[in-house]
Amino acid sequence: MTLRVGLIGTGTIGRDHIRRLTHVLSGVEIVGVTDIDQARAAAAAPAGAEVFATPTALISSEKVQAVIICSWGPAHEEQLLACIAAGKPVFCEKPLVTSEAAALRVMEAEVSFGSRLVQVGFMRRFDSDYRRLKAIIDCGELGAPLLFHSVHRNASVPEGLYTSEMPLNDTLVHDADISRWLLGDEIGGVEVRLPKQSRRGGDLRDPVVVLLHMVSGALVNVEISVNIAYGYDIRGEVSCESGTASLPLRPATIIRDIHGVRQAVPADWRERFSDAYDQEFREWIFAAGQGTATGPSTWDGYAATLVADAALWAVKNRSLERVNMRDRPAIYAPERDQLTQTSMKSAS
Ligand code: NAP
């Protein structure tokens, strides 16, 4: 059975997802696209796909079985609520939404629907290096995890469009989510340190260092550098009671020349996480075909939103800000997700 998908937002990542769903993955067809800029949507539409005038028209179309949201964060809430009201599975790029109140509205709508429909685009959970790292932590041979060092470096960000809040309310969500997932823990508090500012970004506050206080007492330190020139460099190392485990350096061709010996660094997230995005969508297509969702949930998007808000307050108040999550609704219980993952494995 082919899953008939409508995609909202044909910008940078929307077009990359259209490419992978059209040319890389199977079992899926993009039957409709939409964007504020209709000409951009028409240029990105695969052969045979309809260009819808609005997200509402796309979501309500009978042609569209499941939806992918790649618009910008502030538009996500309205589009997610429309998908849930229509009972359609939806993949939403991060961030889920941009405020705690919006996250709660989406969660309440999904809980009222009665089962999961939303998967959030935290693609690191689908990366084979992160999955191996998690398996090592989970098997317990190194003892309990105590510290996680997470490094998130971008070569550059769009000048004028990327503001000093964005390392905390746009970029940090990936590190927050992967920390909760890797350590199997919740984030209870957030501190932020602002070291000497890079001269490369003008007024942009860069880099930033974030300290996540996990509920178990473990600590996560995150370096976010968004203008570091040399490439997109994602690193992670977990210190446990009797050993450490880290992400490997990605294999890359070794170049020897007059400058010495060197290996290329990925240019951006598309290159570094290409395989992870493919796997993320393989799992989404399977679950959406069954009318449900697995993987990163509205609950995880809500947690990341709270951490981002707390980080912004931590800068303003120069304090450790507490993160107070609500009780987790039953539809987001990890066991439920595992059940669906198991049925997926036995079916594939
Ligand atoms: P982008 O290039 O600006 O693309 C967003 C597109 O959506 C633009 O064409 C935009 O039109 C359109 N749009 C905005 N609001 C809309 C609405 N209400 N209805 C229909 N179309 C709308 O941004 P991007 O880099 O692709 O990012 C899109 C989303 O993906 C963001 O949430 C971002 O955080 C996320 N993202 C995730 C990753 C990841 O690693 N998972 C990586 C990159 C981006 P206008 O330009 O005219 O506003």
Q: CA-CA distance, 287 to 280, in Å (whole number)?
A: 11
pLDDT (average), residues 156-173: 91
Whole-number Å distance, alpha carbon 114 to ligand 1 midpoint, is 29
Domain boundaries, the chain: 3-121+274-297+326-347, 125-272
Q: For ligand 1, say whether the CB of 270 is within 6 Å of any of its atoms.
A: no
Q: Name the pTM for this structure.
A: 0.95
125-272 homologous superfamily: Dihydrodipicolinate Reductase; domain 2 (3.30.360.10)
3-121+274-297+326-347 homologous superfamily: NAD(P)-binding Rossmann-like Domain (3.40.50.720)
The values of phi and psi at residue 137, to 5°, are -65, -45
Whole-number Å distance, alpha carbon 144 to ligand 1 midpoint, is 39
Specify the residue with its C-alpha closest to ligand 1, atom 42.
13
Q: For ligand 1, say whether the CB of 272 is within 6 Å of any of its atoms.
A: no
Q: For ligand 1, say whether the CB of 70 is within 6 Å of any of its atoms.
A: yes
Q: For ligand 1, say whether the CB of 37 is within 6 Å of any of its atoms.
A: yes
**pLDDT of 338 higher than 80:** no
Specify the residue with its C-alpha closest to ligand 1, atom 25.
12
Q: For ligand 1, say whether the CB of 12 is within 6 Å of any of its atoms.
A: yes
Handedness of CA 50, 56, 60, 64 (dihedral sign): positive
pLDDT (average), residues 219-247: 97
- Across 34-43, 131-140, 221-230, 330-339, least confident range: 330-339
Q: Which of 100, 149, 92, 98 is nearest to 122 (CA)?
A: 92
Per the prediction, the chain carries an average pLDDT of: 95
**pLDDT of 221 higher than 90:** yes
Question: Burial of 128 by CB count in 10 Å (0-12 exposed, 13-18 middle, 19+ buried)?
Answer: exposed
